[in-house]
Structure 1
Amino acid sequence: MKRTTLVLVLIGLLVGCSGPSTPTSTLNPDVPPTIVPPTATPTPLPSPDATAAAYLSAWEAGDYATMYAYLSPASRAAIDAESFIQRYQSALATATALTVTTRLQSALQEGDRAYVSFHLELDTALVGTLITDTVMSLSLHGGQWGVDWDEGLIWPQLAGGRYFRMEYAIPIRANIYDRAGLGLATEGTIVTIGVIPGQIENEDALLAALTLVTGLSPDEIRGRYVAAPADWKVPIADIPAEVSVDYNDLLSSIPGIYRDEKEGRIYPHGGVAPHVVGWVAPVPAEQLEAYRARGYRGDEWVGVSGLEAWGEEILAGQHGGVLTVVTPAGEKVATVAESPAVPGRPIYTTFDRDFQEQVQQILGGRKGAIVVLDVHTGAVLALASGPGFDPNVFVGPAGAVGRSQILADPRNPLFNRATQGTYPCGSVFKIVTMAAAVEEAAMDPDHTVFYCPGYWEGLGPTARKVCWKKEGHGNISLKDALTASCDVTFYAVGQTLDGVGQDVLPRFGRGFGFGEPTGLEGVLEEGGLMPDPEWKVNAIGEPWWVGDTVNLAIGQGYLLVTPLQVARMMAAVANGGTLYRPYVVERIGSAGDGEPEQVTQPQAVGTLPISPEHLAAIQEALLGVTTKSIGTAPHRFVGLGIPVAGKTGTAEVGGPDTRPHSWFAAYAPADSPEIAIVVMVENAGEGSSVAAPLTRQVVEAYYGLPLSPLPPQAEEGYVPPTPTPGP
Structure 2
Amino acid sequence: MLTAKYTAIRTIWMIIICVMLVSACTPSTFSNRNITTVIPTRNPSANSADAQTAVLKFIEAWKSENYTMMYDLITTVSRDAISPADFEKRYRDTAQNLGYDDLDGSVLSVMPGEHVTQVNTRVVYHTAVFGDISRDILMNVTKEDNEWRIQWEDGLILPELRGGNFLTSEYASSGRGDIYDRNGAPIATQIDAMAVGLKPAELLKPQEGNLLVALTKLTGRTSDSILKQLNKHRDADYVPISEVSAQAVQKMSDELGLLRGLVLTPYKGRFYFQEGVAPQAVGYLLKISPEQLEEYRRKGYSGEETVGVSGLEAWAENRLAGIRGGSVYVRDAKGNILTRLANANSKAPEYLYTTLDRDLQLQAQRAIEGYRGAIVVMERDTGNILAMVSAPSYDANLFETNNFNSGYLLNEAINDPDRRLLNRVTQGAYPMGSIFKIVTMTAALESGYYRSNTTYDCGYRFTELAGTTLYDWTYTYQKSPSGKIDLIGGLVRSCNPYFWHIGLDLFQKGEANDMVNHAVKYGLGKPTGIKELEEVSGQVLDPHNEGDAVQLAIGQGSMLATPLQVAVMISAIGNGGSLYRPQIVSKFTSADGSITYSTSPEVVSHLDERPQIMDVIRNAMRRVVTDEHGTAQAALAGIQIPIYGKTGTASTAQEEPHSWFAGYTDAAKETKKPDITVVVLAENGGEGSMVAAPIFRRIIEIYYNGRPSKLFPWESSLYVAREPTPTAVPTGEITETPGNLTEDKPTPVAPSPILATATPES
TM above 0.5, yes or no, is: yes
Equivalent residue runs for 1:25-174 within 5 Å: 58=71, 67=78, 69-70=80-81, 93-96=96-99, 121=123, 123=125, 125=127, 126-132=129-135, 164-174=167-177
Equivalence for 2:678: 677
Equivalent residue runs for 1:231-242 within 5 Å: 238-242=243-247
The answer to whether 1:525 aligns with 2:535 is yes
Q: Choose the corresponding residue for 2:40, options 8, 16, 19.
A: 16
Is the CA contact (8 Å cut-off) linking 2:100 and 2:299 kept in structure 1? Answer: no
Name the aligned partner's letter for residue 406 of structure 1: A
Equivalence for 1:390: 395
Question: Over residues 3-46 of structure 1, what are the superposed CA-to-partner deviations in whole Å (9 max), with x where a residue is unaligned?
Answer: 99984487899832697454326779x9999xxxxxxxxxxxxx
Equivalence for 2:740: none
Is the CA contact (8 Å cut-off) linking 1:279 and 1:391 kept in structure 2? Answer: yes
Equivalence for 1:628: 627
Is the CA contact (8 Å cut-off) linking 2:463 and 2:469 kept in structure 1? Answer: yes
Is the CA contact (8 Å cut-off) linking 2:503 and 2:512 kept in structure 1? Answer: no
Q: Helix, strand or coil: the match of 1:529?
A: coil
Structure 2 CA distance, aligned partners of 1:690 and 1:236?
Answer: 29
Name the aligned partner's letter for residue 502 of structure 1: A
Equivalence for 1:182: 185
Equivalence for 2:744: none
Shift in alpha-carbon separation, 1:338–1:638, aligned structure 2, 3 A = same
Equivalence for 2:352: 347
The answer to whether 1:432 aligns with 2:439 is yes
Equivalence for 2:524: 514
Equivalence for 1:421: 428
Equivalence for 1:335: 340
Equivalence for 1:322: 327
Q: Helix, strand or coil: the match of 1:443?
A: coil
Equivalence for 2:642: 643
Name the aligned partner's letter for residue 402 of structure 1: L
Q: Helix, strand or coil: the match of 1:481?
A: helix
Name the aligned partner's letter for residue 631 of structure 1: G
Shift in alpha-carbon separation, 1:681–1:31, aligned structure 2, 3 A = same
Equivalence for 1:562: 562
Structure 1 CA distance, aligned partners of 2:276 and 2:506?
Answer: 47
Structure 2 CA distance, aligned partners of 1:323 and 1:119?
Answer: 23
Equivalence for 2:693: 692
The answer to whether 1:294 aligns with 2:307 is no
Name the aligned partner's letter for residue 456 of structure 2: F
Report how far residue 574 of structure 1 moved.
Answer: 0.9
Q: Helix, strand or coil: the match of 2:280?
A: helix
Equivalence for 1:494: 503
Report how far residue 422 of structure 1 moved.
Answer: 1.4
Is the CA contact (8 Å cut-off) linking 1:514 and 1:530 kept in structure 2? Answer: yes
Equivalence for 1:306: 311
Equivalent residue runs for 1:600-615 within 5 Å: 600-615=599-614
The answer to whether 1:668 aligns with 2:702 is no
Name the aligned partner's letter for residue 547 of structure 1: G
Report how far residue 274 of structure 1 moved.
Answer: 0.8
Structure 1 CA distance, aligned partners of 2:446 and 2:323?
Answer: 54
Structure 2 CA distance, aligned partners of 1:475 and 1:70?
Answer: 90
Structure 2 CA distance, aligned partners of 1:489 and 1:312?
Answer: 51
Q: Helix, strand or coil: the match of 2:622?
A: helix
Equivalence for 1:503: 513
Report how far residue 386 of structure 1 moved.
Answer: 0.7
Name the aligned partner's letter for residue 648 of structure 2: G
Name the aligned partner's letter for residue 450 of structure 2: M
Report how far residue 570 of structure 1 moved.
Answer: 1.0
Structure 1 CA distance, aligned partners of 2:418 and 2:59?
Answer: 50
Structure 2 CA distance, aligned partners of 1:13 and 1:402?
Answer: 62
Shift in alpha-carbon separation, 1:153–1:427, aligned structure 2, 3 A = closer
Is the CA contact (8 Å cut-off) linking 1:120 and 1:132 kept in structure 2? Answer: yes
Report how far residue 690 of structure 1 moved.
Answer: 0.9
Report how far residue 149 of structure 1 moved.
Answer: 12
Structure 1 CA distance, aligned partners of 2:163 and 2:192?
Answer: 46
Equivalent residue runs for 1:568-607 within 5 Å: 568-590=568-590, 597-607=596-606
Is the CA contact (8 Å cut-off) linking 1:7 and 1:117 kept in structure 2? Answer: no
Report how far residue 610 of structure 1 moved.
Answer: 2.3
Q: Helix, strand or coil: the match of 2:445?
A: helix
Q: Helix, strand or coil: the match of 1:523?
A: coil
Is the CA contact (8 Å cut-off) linking 2:370 and 2:727 kept in structure 1? Answer: no
Question: Over residues 399-453 of structure 1, what are the superposed CA-to-partner deviations in whole Å (9 max), with x where a residue is unaligned?
Answer: 12221111232211112222211111211111111111111134221x3111223
Shift in alpha-carbon separation, 1:210–1:165, aligned structure 2, 3 A = farther
Equivalence for 2:754: none
Shift in alpha-carbon separation, 1:210–1:330, aligned structure 2, 3 A = farther
Question: Over residues 563-596 of structure 1, what are the superposed CA-to-partner deviations in whole Å (9 max), with x where a residue is unaligned?
Answer: 1111111111111222112111122325769x95
Question: Over residues 110-129 of structure 1, what are the superposed CA-to-partner deviations in whole Å (9 max), with x where a residue is unaligned?
Answer: xxxx9999767472633244
Q: Helix, strand or coil: the match of 1:468?
A: helix
Is the CA contact (8 Å cut-off) linking 1:97 and 1:122 kept in structure 2? Answer: no
Shift in alpha-carbon separation, 1:598–1:615, aligned structure 2, 3 A = same
Structure 2 CA distance, aligned partners of 1:497 and 1:153?
Answer: 70
Q: Percent identity?
A: 35
Shift in alpha-carbon separation, 1:631–1:256, aligned structure 2, 3 A = closer
Q: Choose the corresponding residue for 1:264, options 264, 269, 272.
A: 269
Is the CA contact (8 Å cut-off) linking 2:372 and 2:682 kept in structure 1? Answer: yes
Structure 1 CA distance, aligned partners of 2:85 and 2:491?
Answer: 77
Name the aligned partner's letter for residue 492 of structure 1: H
Greater CA drift, 631-640 or 122-131:
122-131
Shift in alpha-carbon separation, 1:420–1:249, aligned structure 2, 3 A = same
Structure 1 CA distance, aligned partners of 2:542 and 2:391?
Answer: 31
Equivalent residue runs for 1:406-485 within 5 Å: 406-445=413-452, 447-460=453-466, 462-468=468-474, 470-485=479-494
Shift in alpha-carbon separation, 1:270–1:339, aligned structure 2, 3 A = same
Report how far residue 490 of structure 1 moved.
Answer: 1.7
Equivalence for 2:759: 725
Q: Helix, strand or coil: the match of 1:217?
A: helix
Consecutive unaligned residues in structure 2, runs of 5 or more: 1-17, 27-35, 42-47, 142-149, 220-225, 716-720, 729-756
Q: Choose the corresponding residue for 1:363, options 361, 368, 375.
A: 368
Is the CA contact (8 Å cut-off) linking 1:643 and 1:671 kept in structure 2? Answer: no
Shift in alpha-carbon separation, 1:449–1:592, aligned structure 2, 3 A = same
Question: Over residues 607-630 of structure 1, what are the superposed CA-to-partner deviations in whole Å (9 max), with x where a residue is unaligned?
Answer: 234221221122111111121112
Is the CA contact (8 Å cut-off) linking 1:419 and 1:525 kept in structure 2? Answer: yes
Is the CA contact (8 Å cut-off) linking 1:376 and 1:674 kept in structure 2? Answer: yes
Equivalent residue runs for 1:197-216 within 5 Å: 203-204=202-203, 212=215
Report how far residue 393 of structure 1 moved.
Answer: 0.5
Shift in alpha-carbon separation, 1:82–1:473, aligned structure 2, 3 A = closer
Structure 2 CA distance, aligned partners of 1:7 and 1:430?
Answer: 81
How large is the RMSD of aligned CA atoms in angstroms? 4.5
Is the CA contact (8 Å cut-off) linking 1:563 and 1:678 kept in structure 2? Answer: yes
Name the aligned partner's letter for residue 566 of structure 2: V
Equivalence for 2:753: none
Q: TM-score, normalised by structure 1?
A: 0.77
